[in-house]
Amino acid sequence: HMGPAAMSDHENLDVPPHPHIGLSTLTFLFEGEITHKDSLGNNVVIKPGQVNWMTSGSGIVHSERTPDYLRQSDKMLHGLQIWVALPKALEQMEPEFFHVEGKDIPEWEENGVNFKLIAGEAFGRKSPVPVYSPLYLIEIKSSSRQKINIGDHLFGESALYILEGAIESEGNIFEPKHILIANNAKLCEFEMHENTSVYIFGGEPFPEERFMYWNFVSSDKELIEEAKIKWQNQSYKPVPGETDFVPLPDQSKFIKR
């Protein structure tokens, strides 16, 4: 969860070029704009309601910055970025990047509740975001108090993030910035308070363990070690127009699982 952050005319988002392997990242904004540039040559501004889906595979480098035309003005930035591990067979695939317009994302209303399928498949619908494993990211919004029971549409592991408002589940009230992990996705039942927005993300788990170091994710620790050396040696393809370099962080800052 990024923000919400109010930035003045001399404050800007500047995430310099950095690498990823073995995962996809999904970026979805509520407010503000970000310029995405990557080593594939993509240069795209993402705006609220749109999706950036970047698959690192064997390796990609990208930067995220405030667009030039907003750098001298007051602005807001608020959004979600979700990291999704790739299936073992695709961890070394060629990197890819896709930008999806908001108008192309499935959106519907049921009993006064608004739904949006940002990624994956659920409710008999499919998002155009090109995912590589069975998953779903669902936005649910309600202006009135509503009971939600959608377990029949979900599968695998599932989590719920409260963006605004509150929900009730099993006699407990949960407010924003809480993540609830479902014991069973099929039992996804809760009550939304007025003016509440939640995001449900889940999917089928992978059988293999995943390891993570900085921005590197893999089922094979050796691939992470190779990526570290490659970044230290500045052997990755650069991002056009970018000259900044972020050193490999101290290993003591990371916990391996």
Would residue 212 count as lying in a domain? no
Would residue 154 count as lying in a domain? yes
Whole-number average pLDDT of the chain: 96
Would residue 226 count as lying in a domain? no
Would residue 192 count as lying in a domain? yes
- CA-CA distances (angstroms) from residue 166 to 15, 145, 162, 189? 32, 10, 7, 14
Total number of domains in the chain: 2
Instruction: Check whether residue 89 and residue 159 sit in a common domain.
Output: no
Instruction: Check whether residue 10 and residue 94 sit in a common domain.
Output: yes
The residue among 203, 195, 204, 113 whose CA lies nearest residue 162 is: 195
Instruction: Check whether residue 96 and residue 6 sit in a common domain.
Output: yes
Instruction: Check whether residue 76 and residue 139 sit in a common domain.
Output: no
Would residue 172 count as lying in a domain? yes
Q: Domain containing 59 — which CATH number?
A: 2.60.120.10
Would residue 221 count as lying in a domain? no
Q: Could you list the pLDDT tens digit for every one of the 257 residues in the chain? A: 999 999 999 999 999 999 999 999 999 999 999 999 999 999 999 999 999 999 999 999 999 999 999 999 999 999 999 999 999 999 999 999 999 999 999 999 999 999 999 999 999 999 999 999 999 999 999 999 999 999 999 999 999 999 999 999 989 999 999 999 988 877 788 999 999 999 999 999 999 999 999 999 999 999 999 999 999 999 999 999 999 999 999 875 554 54
- The domain of 182 spans 105-203
Instruction: Check whether residue 186 and residue 110 sit in a common domain.
Output: yes
Instruction: Check whether residue 136 and residue 193 sit in a common domain.
Output: yes
Q: What is the pLDDT of residues 84-130, one digit of tens each?
A: 999 999 999 999 999 999 999 999 999 999 999 999 999 999 999 99
Q: Sheet with 172-174: list strands edge to edge.
A: 146-149, 189-192, 167-169, 172-174
Instruction: Check whether residue 97 and residue 110 sit in a common domain.
Output: no
